[in-house]
Copies of this chain bind each other. A is one copy, B any other.
Amino acid sequence: MKTISLAIIEDNDIIQESLSTFLGGDPQFDLQLTAVSVEEFLSAVGGNPMLSPAVVLLDIQLPGMSGIEGIPHIKKLLPEVSIIMLTTFIESEKIFAALCAGACSYLAKSVSLLNIRDAIITVSQGGSYMSPGIARKVVEYFTPKTNKIDSPLTARQLEIVQCIVDGLSYKMVALRLNISLDTVRTHIKNIYQILEINSKGELIRKSLNREV
């Protein structure tokens, strides 16, 4: 088993010490550095090419730049790094912000050190570890607000919507579906009424958000 190079960014002394003692003492890890802020981490790593952790444990609440804001900067410096977020809060907003920024795992701080160790190993193997509550929130993100099976739109109308979302103009929709331009217009008109919208933009948004 190759050792996994690590870094910890955490401003809370107690937690940092607890993590570094536990992880630093484990022979399968190589704890390269700890920092109390993203800024400190960046300048340390930027000033020393020998420092190149494979995995970074990153707190969300940090003095200065927040963990989430820091992700792009860390990724810019270390494109291949895997980032595990640590947080006390389970808020959808932060979870998605972190994932969107490029984090690859998200753990509540309440999990045990053993779980954190597992997460590091999983992540370094190209996997991803998420605590159950967080995973559930992620899954809910995908779940459609409206089920295709009882969409307010008819099958034909859904076809029209799909064409629009595909970026086609009315004229092209008419061509693709072999109907007249006016028919397309009528369909769109009805769809707008049903969905209570009045522009292509809103239609595309609703469709992409699976609200149809």
Contact = CB atoms under 8 A, between A and B. Distances in A.
A109 interface: no
Contacts of A208: 204-205, 208
A142 B139 CA distance: 12
A62 interface: no
A12 to B, nearest CB: 25
Contact of A147 (B76, B103, B169, B200): B76
Given A164-B201, A202-B167, A205-B167, A135 B127 contact: yes
Contacts of A133: 126-127
State the copy count for this chain. Answer: 2
A43 interface: no
B205 A99 contact: no
Contact of A139 (B105, B132, B168): B105
Interface in A102-150: 102-105, 122, 125-133, 135-136, 138-139, 142-144, 147-150
Interface residues of A, number: 48
A96 B142 contact: yes
A199 B142 CA distance: 27
A104 B139 contact: yes
A196 interface: no
A168 to B, nearest CB: 7
Interface in A65-116: 72-73, 75-76, 96, 99-105
B142 A100 contact: yes
A165 interface: yes
Contact of A128 (B101, B127, B136, B147): B136
Contacts of A169: 199, 201
15 contacts: A72-B147, A72-B149, A102-B143, A102-B147, A104-B136, A104-B139, A104-B143, A127-B135, A129-B135, A138-B138, A167-B197, A167-B202, A167-B205, A200-B201, A204-B204
Given A72-B149, A100-B143, A100-B144, 5 more contacts: A102-B143, A102-B147, A129-B132, A169-B199, A204-B208
